[in-house]
Amino acid sequence: MGLLVARDLTVSASLDGGRVPVIRDLSFTLKAGKMLGLVGESGAGKSMVGRTVAQLLPSGFAVSGGSLVFSEANLVTMEPEARRALLGREIAFIPQEPLSALNPVLTIRTQFDEHLARIGVAAGDRRPRMLELFDAVHLPHAADLLRRYPHQLSGGMCQRVLIAFAFASKPKLVIADEPTTALDVTIQARIVRLIAEMQERENTAVVFITHDLRLAAQVCDDILVLYAGRAVEYGPARQVFATSGHPYTRCLQLANPAMSGKRRGLYALPERMPGLRAWNGIKGCAFAPRCPNVIEDCTRAMPPLVEVGPNHAAACIRADKTARIAAPALVPAAEPRQTAPVLEVSGLGKRFVAGGLLRRSEVAALSDVGFSLHENEFIGIVGESGSGKSTLARLIVGLETPSQGRIAIAGHDASHPDFDEHRRRHVQMVFQDPQSALNPRRRVASIVTQPLEAAGVATWEERLARADLLLGEIGLPPEAAMRFPQQLSGGQRQRVNIARALCAVPRILIADEIVSGLDVSVQAQLLNLLAALRRERQFSMLFISHDLSVVRHLCDRVLVMYRGEVVESGPTEQVFAAPAHEYTRMLLAAVPPDDPAEVWQGLHA
């Protein structure tokens, strides 16, 4: 018997006057002390499963069929008061966004105190329990942290605070919803290691929701792959990824850049998952329109889960053909031109003033940074949060002023009278979060041609024509020109962000974590797009990322930054294959390996 057992679970949403199943006939078993991974693209239903277990379904969503049994009690038929009593005590939740989950106007101690009071810890025992839990999640200076507000902690520290909250009651079950998304590789490894430690200590079962397949293969006992609200593959984690039975699982793996072995092309799934309104009309396999193995029989009936290995099932009538799906050939980029550098940075430093009126001090964010970027060269910049990556980008693009050093762009530096205008013409930046970078009140055509508007060099008709060309280059249909950002997916918004940067025909593009937190399928589309644009446009790029596999796939050279300094640099393949600096070795060890059978050093550090 499992601790959590779903049988034909169906969750429906009210939509257009009817009911649409968003989770359909889902069955799985999770035993005490085990970890079940839920993987799939955004919209597949991963978080909806977690929310159903935790009784956090949005308004208009409800369980419409099947059962969900927790510790021999059916959560579907249980009285609401009894269900609420389980939350926080026997069932805990670790949310994806720690800063939005914590109240910004209350100290950590106040919030922790409220949580401990709710689960029944006596007032006199709460502070010792807080200190004990902070020690368990390896948070130093616990007494000082309790006095702080969430914004005074890093993202990784806030996530550890929420893990302490989750395990405070020694729950039987924890739902971890994308707990490592967009975190540095070292912080990700630490968080996953911490969840595993707490799980082993308390014999807790964990539902681990993630889009990181390599991570899931390493930390989970079983994997449930979801597509359009249905389970398409289910089985032991390493077996699922070593011998995938469903084309969707295989395609997601091939969309992920490799960290070792020969570099290969990325499989970019066409189109995207059908929206909720289309789900009721799907007759056959929902994945059929995107599947490389599709035949006519796939569109006639929804395939059931059938055994493809020991305790391993896949919903595909051609599961025996899945292994034949291969990554596309890698299209080589043009070699960087060894002419005069398009960007030269030397002795660059930046100091910020910290403290109040009475106690002021300077903090060095960058120290003596120097490098050159040649035409058509892509350089990756890696390092943990706080290492100075984004500060360096902001200095080059002109959003910050250097405290010392020199920046020269296409032969001109700050001593040139028109340097700022020269920089705007040659350098453009693509920001991490397209939702906040794009004006929600402007249509796409207006957004992507903003550089022409700022320069006052084009009529609206000329801008529309330019927008059509740009949208064609980034792979969006012409009708997207008249849409607003909120009418696009996250990947489409990031394409618009790239198109706006390319409108001015820059020689240098600075990309700051532009694929962070995206599904691997969308990430593959964007990486392939950047590679294609590089061949067509011949521009140079500084690519800031915490994902080392993406940097290996895309970049010619890499700069490794630590505490504001470049501690190692060189050709990407050479640095990653034989790192010379201990910090680089630590970063590489924190990345889950490609082979699910290989031991991940980061999990056992």
Q: What is the mean pLDDT of the chain?
A: 90
| Secondary structure of residue 538 in the 3-state scheme | coil
Are residue 159 and residue 175 in the same domain, yes or no? no
The pLDDT value recorded for residue 358 is 65
The length of the chain in residues reads: 605
Q: What is the pLDDT of residue 273?
A: 84
Same domain, 578 and 471: yes
Looking at residue 182, its pLDDT comes to: 64
Residue 297 has pLDDT above 90, yes or no: yes
| Domain shared by 145 and 278, yes or no | no
Residue type, 516: S
Q: Which of residues 353 and 123 earns the better pLDDT score?
A: 123
For the stretch 385-388, contacts whose Cβ atoms lie closer than 8 Å and that sit 24 or more positions apart, written own/partner, are 385/154, 385/155, 385/156, 385/184, 385/187, 385/546, 386/154, 386/563, 387/561, 387/562, 387/563, 387/564, 388/350, 388/561, 388/563, 388/564, 388/565
- State the pLDDT confidence band at 465, using cuts at 50, 70 and 90: very high
Task: Write down the pLDDT at residue 442.
Answer: 94
What are the C-alpha distances in Å from 72 to residues 3, 55, 57, 68, 91? 8, 17, 22, 9, 14
**Are residues 254 and 394 part of one domain?**
no
Runs of H (alpha helix) within 417-506: 419-426, 434-437, 444-448, 450-455, 460-474, 490-503
Phi, psi of 541 (to 5 degrees): -150, 140
CA distance 314 to 304: 8
Lowest-confidence segment of 353-367, 378-392, 443-457 by average pLDDT: 353-367
pLDDT of 356: 60
pLDDT score recorded for residue 431: 83
Residues 246 and 177 placed together within one structural domain of the fold: yes
- Do 162 and 182 belong together in one domain? no
Structure tokens at 567: 């501690």
* Model pTM score: 0.89
DSSP assignment letter at 602: G
User: For 306, how many CA atoms within 13 A lie in the half-sphere containing its CB?
Assistant: 9
Kindly tell me if the per-residue pLDDT of 307 is higher than 90. Answer: yes
Q: Say whether both 490 and 591 belong to one domain.
A: yes
42 with 156, same domain?
no
Mean pLDDT (whole number) for 375-382 = 95
Contacts of 306 (CB under 8 A, 6+ apart): 313, 314, 315, 319
Q: Same domain for 159 and 125?
A: yes
Report whether pLDDT(353) > 90: no
Query: What tens digit of pLDDT does each residue of 12-45 get?
Result: 998 878 888 999 999 999 999 999 999 999 889 9
**For position 590, which CATH number holds?**
3.40.50.300
Residue 179 reports pLDDT greater than 90: no
Judgement on whether residues 138 and 206 belong to the same structural domain of the protein: no
**What pLDDT does residue 173 have?**
95
Q: pLDDT digits over 485-540, tens only?
A: 988 877 788 889 999 999 988 999 999 888 887 888 888 998 999 999 999 888 99
Q: Which range of residues forms the domain containing residue 478?
A: 343-603
Does 129 reside within a domain? yes
Mean pLDDT of 537-557: 94
d(CA 559, CA 158): 28
Domain count, the chain: 3
> Does 467 lie in the same domain as 419?
yes
Asked if 270 and 408 sit in the same domain, the reply is: no
Q: Give me the pLDDT at residue 238, please.
A: 93
Kindly state whether residue 520 falls inside one of the protein's structural domains. yes
Structure tokens at 209: 């929701």
Given a cut of 90, whether residue 366 has pLDDT beyond it is yes
